[in-house]
Structure 1
Amino acid sequence: MTDMEVTSQRVDTHGLVGVLCAPRAPGPAPGVLLLGGSEGGLHERDARALASEGFSALALAYFGASSLPPGLVDIPLEYFFRALDVLAAQPASGERFGVAGGSRGAEAALLTAAHDERVAAVVSVVGSGVVTQGIDFRQGNLLDILRTPTNSWTLDGQALPYLPNVVSDELGDLIQRGVPVPLSLAYPVLPSDPGLLEQVNIKVENIAGAALFICAEDDRMWPSREYTQVAIDRLSAHPYPVEHKTLRGAGHPIAGPPSTPFTTTTSPGPGVTFEMGGTTAANTGARASAWQATVRFLKDHLA
């Protein structure tokens, strides 16, 4: 199916900001909710690519777009539940859906799946099995953003406990020197106290469907492998299929459909340059592999 055979329409009801893309041809087109990461905004290109594979794909912005919060701060999980309502209203989408997210969007995807039984398949790409600190871009520079205690998500009006950032001397020195920064330095090791870890865990065992976890071996934006392993461990007795892939040599930017080959392993940030990890060749190949695995997984579990 080509891009010309895909329709798209803006979604702006119930406070949502999104784009719904679907095959132009009639027939079943399983619904999938797509969530981007800490860059914010809409990922319409991703939705069109998934629609060309036969899905009704809703690319949803949850901050960093008009009428939405400027940062990842106090985002209600109910916002994502309302997005599933939009998919449920599409006759071709079916009754149970997929949710796919990258990075912080994967964190949101797992939270959504854990709290809404309509999710039959969830995909986490370089994500996290624990709730992490919010991102308040209004603070300005990166050090102030990292040091400002901020909730990411709420449920029923209550903030979800999160794993707070750490700002080490090493991280501060790199920022001050103006060299590429591995943001993974701002994320702490997991709590050794089981009680503290339980507080920030995502209750993935409540997901009523299959789960796919894709990690990058050299993710320098955050410790997605370690944080994802928490979710995988919790799903050891899960009655639904669980898949886990680690892509060797790859860094953080592997979520989404394949694009032109990467020419750098860095990315701009608030007053800094981020070191994403991996190599340009490994990241290019891993992005294609991750997308192929995502599409196959969704077709297997949403048919």
Structure 2
Amino acid sequence: MILLQRTQHWSLMAIRCARWSSSLSARFLVRPGPRSLFSDPLAIEVEGLVPEQEVVMQARLRDEKGELFESNARYRADSSGRVDLSRSPSLGGSYTGAEPMGLFWSLRPQNPYKMLVKRDVRSPFLVELEARDGEEQNGRLLASETLERVFLAEGVRRLPVNEGRVRGTLFLPPGEGPFPGVLDMYGTGGGLPEYRACLLSAHGFVVLALAYYGYQDLPKDMRKLQLEYFEEASTFLRTHPKVAGPGIGVIGASKSGDLALLLATFTPGISAVVSINGCNAVAVFPITYKGTVFPGLIGDSSKVTVMKSGVADIRDTLNNPLEGENQKSLIPIEQADCRFLFLVSEDDRNWNSPFFAEEAVKRLKAHGKDNFEKVVYPMAGHYLEPPYFPHCTASLHMLVGMPVAWGGEAKSHAMAQIDMWERIDAFLKEHLGTGKHCSSAKL
């Protein structure tokens, strides 16, 4: 009797396994593999389908707070029963056309006004892929795969920094070095975002992700910023034994764009500056340096437009830095001895970054300078992130206290991020060097 029960049990299990394997008649092929750096592209195919079969591809990702991001696209298999995302066009869903990484950059939050950020670079994001039969998202499951999209590449070391007043995280690439050094700063969100610095370090840079408010014992807000703090951080990085000199690079995005310009203008040792949708004037809050106060360019709240959705458009709230007393906020970047790369989103709704960048370029030209490059991305929004971060249309603004529109269109924004990443890498290596004994980080 016991033997019979055991035989029946294993027979039932075999039947269940047979049903499971037969139901998953297709499979995903992912190159270079299911584990990859978040900023790296993937080649994704599904094989084992019926020729000309209609299928829905789905992707799901949960961030560290449990927020769900989803995308989907309809495909038709070719005559051999295969869908190749690099060649097969999506017929509808989150995007259309042949988009190798469309399932990633088109991810949308289930709850509105959420932005995908990475809070702990030591763990990967898990992306669940599914292929389902038919034209509906709840069709029969044909294939599934879970991908690990990592941030901390193999060999890259993550070192918390608590030196003097400087607070941040240092990322060291594998190899003996020395390597080019880069100071990386984010905008008005505060805290210590590490993910851009971490991903960039895999390209052979020593990168210091710098916090400057809302972190540990740093100021709670931006009302009392001192340029000396950023100068101290620059000196710490430049003098690090793993950093090749003589100068370093600085990346500033949004509010930190003007901080990067100030640092290059008034302090030594900056060879290259990347400004991502920054301002050519000190924005919003004043900053002091050696007893001098640089006033912040203020905004006019009466120019805020609240749309029917409850999302605010704040693009035109900041005063014109070329008019009247506002000119005191302008940064005399012609004094800087470095190269500039201005990366600009044409549809930036946070503020008029195309205007700010153009005025910065005009100022340099007026002083006989040609030490700049400017790239404008049509239909891209304010938050240009590393490749394959999904486009965020609107989210809560820390200073405004309500959701604001960031602008842009998903595909154009995604293409801008890919191009931007390549340009930053090339720009920094051209003007800082590639370092010695450097090996690219691998997974």
- Give me the TM-score of the superposition, normalised by structure 2: 0.60
Does 1:213 find its partner at 2:342? Answer: yes
2:60 equivalent in structure 1? none
**Of 239, 263, 266, the match for 1:115:** 266
Structure 1: give runs of 5+ residues left out of the alignment: 135-150
1:175-205 CA-to-partner distances (Å, cap 9, x unmatched) read 8x77111222321234334xx3541110101
Distance 2:164 2:429 in 1: 29
1:68 corresponds to which letter in structure 2? L
| Larger helix percent | 1
Distance 1:259 1:12 in 2: 32
After superposing on structure 2, the runs of 4+ consecutive aligned residues of structure 1 that deviate more than 6 Å are none
3-state SS in 1 of match to 2:315: helix
3-state SS in 2 of match to 1:83: helix
1:77 equivalent in structure 2? 227
Distance 1:238 1:212 in 2: 17
Query: Does structure 2 conserve the Cα–Cα contact (< 8 Å) formed by 1:184 and 1:221?
Result: yes
1:224 corresponds to which letter in structure 2? S
**Of 314, 324, 349, the match for 1:183:** 314
Q: Which has the larger radius of gyration?
A: 2
Does 1:204 find its partner at 2:333? Answer: yes
Distance 1:285 1:267 in 2: 21
1:48-97 CA-to-partner distances (Å, cap 9, x unmatched) read 11111111100101112111112221210011111111112212312211
| Larger strand percent | 2
Distance 1:260 1:122 in 2: 23
Does 1:4 find its partner at 2:135? Answer: no
Does 1:242 find its partner at 2:376? Answer: no
2:177 equivalent in structure 1? 27
Distance 1:187 1:272 in 2: 17
Distance 1:83 1:3 in 2: 24
Cα gap change, 1:198 to 1:186, in 2 (>3 Å): closer
Does 1:105 find its partner at 2:237? Answer: no
Q: Which moved more, 1:13-22 or 1:277-286?
A: 277-286
Alpha-carbon offset, residue 239 of structure 1: 4.5
| Higher-RCO chain (CA-CA 8 Å, sequence separation at least 6) | 1
Alpha-carbon offset, residue 222 of structure 1: 0.9
Distance 1:257 1:28 in 2: 25
Distance 2:395 2:410 in 1: 12
Distance 2:153 2:185 in 1: 20
2:409 equivalent in structure 1? 279
2:407 corresponds to which letter in structure 1? G
1:216 corresponds to which letter in structure 2? S
- Give me the TM-score of the superposition, normalised by structure 1: 0.86
Cα gap change, 1:281 to 1:66, in 2 (>3 Å): same
Matches within 5 A, 1:36-55: 36-55=186-205
Query: Does structure 1 conserve the Cα–Cα contact (< 8 Å) formed by 2:321 and 2:329?
Result: no
Q: Which moved more, 1:202-211 or 1:282-291?
A: 282-291
1:200-225 CA-to-partner distances (Å, cap 9, x unmatched) read 11010111111110110000001111
Distance 2:187 2:254 in 1: 5
Alpha-carbon offset, residue 19 of structure 1: 0.5
The root-mean-square deviation of aligned C-alpha atoms, in Å, is 1.9
Structure 2: give runs of 5+ residues left out of the alignment: 1-36, 38-151, 434-443
1:143 equivalent in structure 2? none
Alpha-carbon offset, residue 127 of structure 1: 0.4
2:232 corresponds to which letter in structure 1? R
Sequence identity, in percent? Answer: 31
Alpha-carbon offset, residue 261 of structure 1: 2.7
Distance 2:321 2:290 in 1: 26
2:393 equivalent in structure 1? 265
Distance 1:239 1:160 in 2: 23
Equivalent pairs counted in the alignment come to 279
Distance 1:84 1:295 in 2: 19
Query: Does structure 2 conserve the Cα–Cα contact (< 8 Å) formed by 1:209 and 1:240?
Result: no
Query: Does structure 1 conserve the Cα–Cα contact (< 8 Å) formed by 2:182 and 2:205?
Result: yes
1:207-256 CA-to-partner distances (Å, cap 9, x unmatched) read 111111011000000111112222111111454531000001111011x4
Does 1:161 find its partner at 2:322? Answer: no
Query: Does structure 1 conserve the Cα–Cα contact (< 8 Å) formed by 2:320 and 2:326?
Result: no
**Of 287, 291, 297, the match for 2:421:** 291
Distance 2:375 2:264 in 1: 20
Cα gap change, 1:85 to 1:191, in 2 (>3 Å): closer
2:414 corresponds to which letter in structure 1? T
3-state SS in 2 of match to 1:57: strand
Distance 1:189 1:87 in 2: 35
Distance 1:296 1:40 in 2: 28
Q: Which moved more, 1:209-218 or 1:270-279?
A: 270-279
1:78-128 CA-to-partner distances (Å, cap 9, x unmatched) read 111111111122123122111111001111000000012210111101001
1:35 corresponds to which letter in structure 2? M
